[in-house]
Structure formats: structure tokens, C-alpha cells
Structure 1
Amino acid sequence: MRKAQRTRIRGWRWRRNPLRRRSDVVEARIILATWAAAVVGGAAVGAVVAQAVDGALEHDRAGRMPVSAVMVRSAPSATRGVATGATYDRVRAEVRWTDTGGTVRTGETSVRAGTAAGTAVTVWTDGRGHLVSGPIGSAEAAARVGLTGAGAGLVDGLLVLAAGRTVRLRIERRATDAWAVEWARVGPQWGRRTS
């Protein structure tokens, strides 16, 4: 048994013909509006989210200050991961520094393995003088901004397309129900013989 081939005619909903229903025109307009809203809305949401993330990253970078610190004790030598076997050249060690208020503080930070006691190292602090990790680089910040904006735009576009598809399915269901009612009225007349 051969499978029937389906003929696809582009733009049939827009052409005038006696078989075109009102629901076909509404469905065509919904498709057009949905795609336009998905593209334009997705781009707008992506741009707004990217700008917000860029501002947050810039604020975070501005709040971190480099401070000169001194090693309290010698840092341990390089360690090897038990599971992976990789060698780690950065270890946690205790350092001492003076904050902007003149208070001497101590804390642990990541330093090169084997750094001797008394060696000067640069650490990063926040506005309250607490140790924090260094700011992210401009390349990583640009990648985060781009990926976050693109992801937000994509999600927004997909949500709009899903909403449009849901509306289209409801319209198709109503059109099918109307067709069934009409067929129930007209269908029995086809079986009669006319003379």
C-alpha cells in the first residue's frame, strides 16, 4: 500500500478561494504575529538582560580592590588530586594585610604553591575589607554577558512561540468542532437519492 503524499502549498491561507475559512485567516495572522513577537521580543529581552548583567558585573568589578598582603606561613607545596591525578599549583594559605581603615587583618586566600613566609602577594578585598576572589577578566565578562543575553532572548522567543501554538491549537479545535456540527447537519443529505 502506497502512502499518500501530502502537497504543501505556501501561503494558501492568504489566497482567496471558496474553501478558505475565517479560522484559516485568523490562524495565518496568529502565525505571523507570533513569529514577529518571538523575534522582536526575544531580541529586546536579550538586549535588556545582557545590559543588566553587564551592569552587575561592572558593579562587582568596581567593588573589588587589590591590596598588598604578606604570607604569614609558607604555603604548602603543589598537591595532586587523588581522583584525577592532576597537579594543582595554587593552594590556600594564610596572609596578613592592612585594610583602608588601618586595621591589620588575616585570612586565607589562594596563592602559588610553595610561596615562602614573608613574601608579598596581592589579594583582593571588598568594600568592608574581607577577602574575595579576583575580578573576572573582560573576555570572561563579555562571554557571560553574551551567553546570558542570548539565552534569555531564546527562552523568551520559545515561550512566545509556545503561546502562539497553544492559541492556534484552540482555534483549530473550534474550527473542527464547527465543521463537525455542520457535517452532522449536511452529511445525512448526501445519502439520499434525488431525482
Structure 2
Amino acid sequence: MTTSENARKRKWLWRWRNNPLRRRDDIVEAWIVLAVWAVVAVGGTVSGLMTAHAALDVFAHQRADRQTVRAVLLDDVRRATVARGGSTDRRMTSVSWMTPEGATRTGRTLVDNGLKAGAHVPVWQDGQGRLTAAPPTTEEATIESGSLGIAAAASFAGLAFGTGAVVRWRLERRRIDQWGLEWELVGPQWGHKTG
């Protein structure tokens, strides 16, 4: 180990070494920092993994529950006019479809522009026969659950760091108050001349 690395290590671990200037609050602060990092490492990992697994389960349930059916357009879908900001390729319109139990339902969904009434379009329905969005593909579910897991881990880490920062700030305030009390005792003695 080089001299600069050794000096950096000593500087970083100064609260843990025996030192006549080390106060009780320095030891408490060192334990707080260690505890915060341990909570972030373990808790952040656990919360991120749990969130990602829960999201994967929800997406798998959506893929199992939702199915595509053919619906019939009830109205013509006019082509969109180009407006400020561009045009859209899909428009909201009324459709009719059959539920898994054989009942006919109507609802509104997005379909491609330029279709005529009576045209067949694919729509997604849930297990109760309600219109719903298409479930995410396996790849989309993996990416989204990973993103949710990272967000959960980051949120947990932020909460732990914030809590640690508040505790350290309170400790610092207490230290400053103690220094003020000590200075009130020692300060007046400095005004005296020594013989």
C-alpha cells in the first residue's frame, strides 16, 4: 500500500481509531454512518428485488388474464386532420365484442384511422369481458419491472440517507451547543494575563 493510500485510509477511519481528541459523539456518528450504509445495501437490495418480482407477477397475471378478441366497429373512423403538433394514427371510437360468456358488450377503444363501420378490429379484454389495454410482452415486463425495482431501491436508499442526514445534523447541533457551553467556561479565562 502506498503512503497516500495509507494516509487516505487513516483519514477515512479516524473515528474508529483511538484518539485523545475523539469524542463520544464521533463514535456515535461513525456507527450511524455504518448503520445507514448497511441499511441502504441490504434494505435497498431487498426492496428492489421484492418490487421487481411483484411487478413481474402482476404482468404475468395480466398476460394470463387478458385475451384478444375481434370487435366490430360501430362508427366510421375518419382520417385525422393534421393539426398543430402533428396527427395521430389512431382515434377513439365505439366497438362491439363478445365476452367469454357469450354476452355482447359495447365500449370505446382506440382504432386505426380510415376504417368503416362494420370492420373487424382486434381488442383486448380481461377475464370479466371488459375492454383493457394489451398486456406487456415478456421483454416489456422485464424492463418495466427492473425499472420499478431500481426506483424502489433508490427511494429506499434516499429515505435511509435522509434519515441518517437528519440524525447526523441533530448530532452536529448538539456538538455545537456543547462547544458553546465549554467556550463559556473557558473563554473568560483567556482574558487574564499570565505572569
Q: What is the TM-score when the length of structure 1 is the normalising length?
A: 0.81
| Pairwise CA distance, 1:16 | 1.8
Unaligned runs of 5+ in 1: 1-7
Amino acid at match of 2:34: L
Residue 193 of structure 1: CA displacement? 4.4
SS in 2 for 1:135: coil
Q: Which has the higher helix share?
A: 2
What is the distance in 2 between the residues matched to 1:97 and 1:143? 32
What CA distance in whole angstroms lies between the structure 2 residues aligned with 1:181 and 1:132? 68
Deviation at 1:170, TM superposition (A): 1.7
- Aligned residue number for residue 115 of structure 1: 115
Q: Structure 1 CA distance, aligned partners of 2:186 and 2:108?
A: 85
Partner of 1:184: 184
Q: How does 1:1-195 map to 2 (within 5 A)?
A: 9-76=11-78, 78-84=79-85, 86-194=86-194
1:120-179 Cα shifts (integer Å, max 9, x gaps): 332211222222222222333222211211111111111111111111122222223223
Q: How many residues align?
A: 186
- Which residue identity lines up with residue 158 of structure 2 in the other structure? L
For 1:27 and 1:44, the matched residues in 2 are separated by: 25
**How far did 1:81 drift?**
4.3
CA distance in 1, matches of 2:53, 2:62: 14
Q: Which residue of 2 aligns with 1:3?
A: none
- 1:94-143: CA deviation from partner (whole Å, max 9, x where unpaired): 33332222223333332222234444332211222222222222333222
CA distance in 1, matches of 2:118, 2:183: 93
Task: Say which SS state the counterpart of residue 79 (structure 1) adopts.
Answer: coil
Decide whether aligned partners of structure 1 residues 170 and 73 sit closer, same or farther in structure 2, where only a CA change above 3 A counts: closer
- Name the Cα RMSD after superposition: 2.4
Query: What is the percent sequence identity of the aligned residues?
Result: 42
Q: 1:178 to 1:105 in 2, by over 3 A?
A: closer
Tell me, in whole angstroms, the C-alpha distance in 2 between the residues paired with 1:172 and 1:73: 70
The one-letter amino acid of 2:91's match is V
- Displacement of 1:74 in angstroms is 4.2
**What is the identity, as a one-letter code, of the residue corresponding to 1:133?**
A
1:79: how far off?
Answer: 1.1
1:194 Cα offset (Å): 4.9
Q: What amino acid is aligned across from residue 66 of structure 1 in structure 2?
A: T
How has the CA–CA distance of structure 1 residues 16 and 72 changed in structure 2, closer, same or farther, with 3 Å as cutoff? Answer: same
2:173 partner letter: R
Q: Report Cα offsets for 1:64-96 as digits up to 9, x if no partner.
A: 1211233345432x3134221x23222334333
Give the TM-score of the pair, scaled to structure 2: 0.81
Give structure 2 stretches of 5+ with no counterpart.
1-7
- Amino acid paired to 2:168: R
Distance 1:116 1:46 in 2: 48
Equivalent AA in structure 2 for residue 95 of structure 1? V
SS of equivalent to 2:136: coil
Offset at 1:180?
2.7
2:12 alignment partner, SS class: coil
- Secondary structure of the residue that 1:45 maps to in structure 2? helix
